[in-house]
């Protein structure tokens, strides 16, 4: 391949991941992912995927709550995690608009940035809206910025990913 002549970039397809848009939450930013199946991660992570239909909100909430109960996490922290996960899953269901091929996944475990937990909620249901207008509900975004220690939301033609993490003193 030669770059002489400044070859037209239009000749090459743009990978979907290069068209990622970040939605600011207003809080400190972290894009760490939950450490899943990492050696030393205590008692394993939570990972569950459902069709992005209304029952997913309840199913994923229940699973995530059980995972946190097993780990004896602080009640206030657990409440915040569940509230934000509900918001993100509800948004994924709204994105999907009843499209049965869409899925929403919740993953939780120790956080990649250390000393705490991370929760990631991602869907593959953004094709009904352009990524510039992900339709994320304003209230949910504000809550993420306020209630998570760190957060990020990114959206692309391949879907939307919400990353949330919290420090947990006992995990230091
Ligand atoms: Zn983090």
The answer on pLDDT for 11 being more than 70 is: no
Domain-located, residue 108: yes
**CA 76–ligand 1 middle distance (angstroms):** 19
User: Which residue has tokens 């094709």?
Assistant: 127
**CA 162–ligand 1 middle distance (angstroms):** 12
Domain-located, residue 3: no
**CA 83–ligand 1 middle distance (angstroms):** 18
**CA 128–ligand 1 middle distance (angstroms):** 30
The answer on pLDDT for 13 being more than 70 is: no
Number of domains in the chain: 1
**CA 138–ligand 1 middle distance (angstroms):** 22
Contact 131, 157 (CB under 8 A): yes
pLDDT in tens, 116-157: 999 999 998 754 444 445 556 667 888 999 999 999 999 887
**CA 161–ligand 1 middle distance (angstroms):** 14
Domain-located, residue 147: yes
**CA 87–ligand 1 middle distance (angstroms):** 19
Q: Which residue has the higher pLDDT, 130 or 25?
A: 25
pLDDT in tens, 33-44: 887 655 555 558
Per residue in 79-111, is it b (16+ CB within 10 Å) or e — as a string? Answer: ebbbebbbbbbbbbbbbbeeeeebbbbbbbbbb
**Residue 84 lies in domain:** 32-171
**CA 43–ligand 1 middle distance (angstroms):** 19
List of residues 6+ apart from 75 with CB closer than 8 A: none
Domain-located, residue 22: no
Long-range contacts of 7-11 (CB under 8 A, 24+ apart): none
**CA 12–ligand 1 middle distance (angstroms):** 34
pLDDT at residue 100, rounded to an integer: 74
Tell me, what CATH number does 40's domain have?
3.30.565.10
User: Which residue has tokens 């692309």?
Assistant: 156
The mean pLDDT value for 144-172 works out to 90
Domain-located, residue 135: yes
pLDDT at residue 64, rounded to an integer: 96
pLDDT at residue 131, rounded to an integer: 43
pLDDT at residue 104, rounded to an integer: 95
pLDDT at residue 146, rounded to an integer: 94
Query: Rounded to two decimals, what is the model's pTM?
Result: 0.81
pLDDT at residue 167, rounded to an integer: 94
**CA 114–ligand 1 middle distance (angstroms):** 7
pLDDT in tens, 95-106: 877 777 899 999
pLDDT at residue 130, rounded to an integer: 44
CA 53 to chain centre: 17
pLDDT in tens, 70-99: 888 999 999 999 999 999 999 899 887 777
């Amino acid at each position: 391949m030669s770059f002489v002549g400044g070859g037209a970039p239009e000749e090459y397809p743009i990978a979907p991941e290069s068209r990622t848009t970040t939605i600011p939450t207003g809080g400190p930013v972290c894009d760490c992912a939950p450490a899943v199946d990492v050696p030393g991660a205590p008692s394993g992570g939570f990972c569950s995927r459902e069709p992005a239909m209304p029952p997913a909100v309840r199913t994923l909430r229940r699973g995530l709550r059980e995972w946190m109960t097993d780990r004896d996490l602080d009640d206030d922290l657990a409440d915040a995690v569940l509230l934000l996960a509900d918001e993100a899953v509800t948004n994924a269901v709204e994105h999907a608009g009843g499209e049965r091929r869409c899925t929403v996944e919740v993953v939780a475990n120790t956080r990649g940035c250390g000393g705490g937990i991370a929760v990631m909620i991602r869907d593959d249901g953004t094709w009904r809206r352009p990524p510039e207008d992900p339709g994320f509900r304003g209230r949910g975004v504000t809550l993420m910025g306020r209630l998570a220690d760190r957060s990020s939301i990114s959206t692309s033609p391949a879907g939307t990913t919400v990353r949330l993490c919290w420090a947990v003193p006992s995990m230091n």
